[in-house]
Amino acid sequence: MHPFRHAQATPDKAAVINAESGETLSYAELDRASNRAAHLYRAHGLRPGDRVAILMENTVDYYGLVWGAQRSGLLFVAISTKLTAPEVDYILEDSGARLLVFSAGLAGGQADVAKLVHGADEGDVERVEAALAMQDSSPIAHESAGYQMLYSSGTTGRPKGVKLPAPADPAIDAPTALAMLASGFFGLGPDSIYLSSAPLYHAAPLSWTMTVQKLGGTIVLMRKFDAEAALAAIERYACNSGQFVPTHFVRMLKLPEDARTKYDVSSMQVAIHAAAPCPVPVKRAMIEWWGPVLDEYYAGTEGNGFTALKAAEWLAHPGSVGRAIGEAKLHICDEDGNDLPPRAEGMVFFESARQFEYHNDPEKTADSRNARGFSTLGDVGWVDDEGYLYLTDRKSFMIISGGVNIYPQEIENHLVTHPKVADVAVVGAPDDEMGEAVVAVIQPAPGVVGDDALAAELIAHCRAALSGVKTPRRVEFMAELPRHDTGKLYKRLIRDKFWGKENRIG
């Protein structure tokens, strides 16, 4: 399916609603907006295979721009609004974008690219709203399917542009694997009222909300995540589905009891979560609160493989991120690329005919493959006897202390359950004796003072449940940990402070 089909069948149905203001874009309005965007791109000389970049905050207007690119055969490059001007310029230049549409105040600096501004005047840059108003609202000639080319969030280094294979079928309404998965496994469809609280420049929110629109559902779009505001939006719009990350769950669970219980969330039928494994106590608490509606998946922007499981399966396999579904086959491999048996820890690989590449970076592309041609996202994990995958951590975050490999995720999952902890990152710091020492960097809960007494309390909390080698040697405090709006932690920036490295991308 495709939004233009729903514009024909249910023209007045809401395609997207602004959660805060209630501003609504119907399917008929979305279809007209995307047609105008397609004509605008053509007027700027963009042809199938060209790139258009979008650097915008969450707004209902975002969808007309990306659907206009999709029906024009363009690659749309969604750029993080949190990047600096040089970082934006890097992506513009690396991607080869020929046009940038940006929210006022967010443009890059020196990149030689045509620009349109959204939302407010900015110098002599043309307003995209005015430019669109002058375009035809009927379809362009020779429509063909475009697709996203997104850049990784840069949590471990310079962002990588993920270039996926072009769609096999150029028809703009050709079925996609994600749409079939969303409807078949997660039960999304035309009756879905889907809460999206993360920024649209990230792969999962953009891909999944566009997929819900392919299926004819309604998106309730938050400007940004706020724990209590998310609960209020679920109640106000009777949201029955949505996507979250574990950090969102932690923040909702740590709301005051009166704030947690004042909103009716009984409409939720499927709360899809991903981005990182959810700590077992956190997910159990959410299931006790919302019911067995938390369905989980593991995948990446690269689209090389997918695992998933329903809440009921997770209760039987706590901590798992699911079994492989779809055509890709899951492998756990040793350093030589050999398959490991169940419960043996190794690198997580997928065997798939679907290939990806990192744009302009053949070395990174090669590093993502093993000798057998399997690809990896860089994660470490193991499978149980039934094929359920458990992630240990990212290989790049591993701490080697006294010759012992330590994965921070287990330590972080334990610390974040402490009532005085709002957020946590565990990193390795230089140590003359052990090579690296385990350090916990803590964001205290509101009203809690980060001092020596709290540090001692948290170390004792770890010592009671974890082995000595995993117990942090010291605890440090930060007012706020550097998290991406999607919930991903910029752990590299924290780690680099201990190693004397400059905090920059690259």
pLDDT, one tens digit per residue, over 319-361 is 999 999 988 999 999 988 999 999 999 999 999 888 889 888 8
Give residue 294's domain range. 175-301
pLDDT at 10 > cutoff 50: yes
Is 383 inside any structural domain?
no
CB neighbour list of residue 301: distance below 8 Å, 6 or more residues apart: 150, 152, 162, 203
User: Are residues 182 and 106 both part of a single domain?
Assistant: no
Q: What is the model's pLDDT at position 498? A: 86
Q: Cα separation of 475 and 459, whole Å? A: 8
Residue type, 345: E
User: Are residues 43 and 152 both part of a single domain?
Assistant: yes
Average pLDDT on 225-249 reads: 95
User: Are residues 83 and 142 both part of a single domain?
Assistant: yes
* Alpha-carbon dihedral 87, 90, 94, 96, rounded to 10 degrees: 100
Domain of 425, CATH number, reads 3.30.300.30
471 CB-side CA count, 13 A: 14
Q: What is the model's pLDDT at position 157? A: 55
- Confidence at 392, pLDDT banded by 50, 70, 90: confident
Is 316 inside any structural domain?
no
- Identify any residues that bridge with 53 across adjacent strands, giving them in sequence order: 77, 100
pLDDT at 250 > cutoff 90: no
pLDDT at 155 > cutoff 60: no
User: Are residues 114 and 227 both part of a single domain?
Assistant: no
Least confident of 302-311, 394-403, 449-458: 394-403
- 214 sits in which H/E element: helix 203-214
User: Are residues 8 and 148 both part of a single domain?
Assistant: yes
- Taking CA atoms, 425 is separated from 43, 92, 244, 493, in Å, by 48, 31, 20, 11
- Identify any residues that bridge with 421 across adjacent strands, giving them in sequence order: 444
pLDDT at 454 > cutoff 90: yes
Is 331 inside any structural domain?
no
Q: What is the model's pLDDT at position 403? A: 66
User: Are residues 87 and 199 both part of a single domain?
Assistant: no
Return phi, psi of residue 281, to 5°: -65, -35
Instruction: Please state, rounded to an integer, the average pLDDT across all residues of the chain.
Output: 91
User: Are residues 445 and 486 both part of a single domain?
Assistant: yes
Average pLDDT on 151-168 reads: 73
Percent of the chain's residues with pLDDT above 90: 68
| The Cα angle at residue 232 between residues 198 and 12, in degrees rounded to 5 | 75
Average pLDDT on 252-258 reads: 93
pLDDT in tens, 401-426: 876 778 788 899 899 999 999 999 99
Counted domains in the chain? 3
| Boundary of a domain, candidates 115, 141, 165 | 165
| Boundary of a domain, candidates 301, 326, 351 | 301
Is 346 inside any structural domain?
no
User: Are residues 98 and 197 both part of a single domain?
Assistant: no
pLDDT at 96 > cutoff 80: yes
* Alpha-carbon dihedral 86, 87, 89, 90, rounded to 10 degrees: 120
- Confidence at 501, pLDDT banded by 50, 70, 90: low
- Confidence at 17, pLDDT banded by 50, 70, 90: very high
Domain of 213, CATH number, reads 3.40.50.980
Q: What is the model's pLDDT at position 358? A: 87
pLDDT at 295 > cutoff 70: yes
Is 125 inside any structural domain?
yes
Q: Cα separation of 67 and 131, whole Å? A: 17
Residues 336-358 as b/e (b if ≥16 CB within 10 A, e otherwise) read ebeeeeeeebbbbbbbbebebbb
User: Are residues 127 and 213 both part of a single domain?
Assistant: no
pLDDT at 435 > cutoff 80: no
Percent of the chain's residues with pLDDT above 70: 96
Is 254 inside any structural domain?
yes
pLDDT at 88 > cutoff 50: yes
Q: What is the model's pLDDT at position 274? A: 87
- Taking CA atoms, 66 is separated from 14, 31, 394, 456, in Å, by 17, 11, 31, 50
Q: Does residue 439 contact residue 404 with C-beta atoms inside 8 Å? A: no
pLDDT at 505 > cutoff 60: no
User: Are residues 161 and 13 both part of a single domain?
Assistant: yes
Is 134 inside any structural domain?
yes
CB neighbour list of residue 62: distance below 8 Å, 6 or more residues apart: 54, 56, 200
Is 44 inside any structural domain?
yes
User: Are residues 293 and 434 both part of a single domain?
Assistant: no
CB neighbour list of residue 479: distance below 8 Å, 6 or more residues apart: 443
Q: What is the model's pLDDT at position 146? A: 96
For the chain, the first-to-last Cα distance in angstroms comes to: 40
pLDDT at 367 > cutoff 60: yes
Q: Cα separation of 422 and 164, whole Å? A: 37
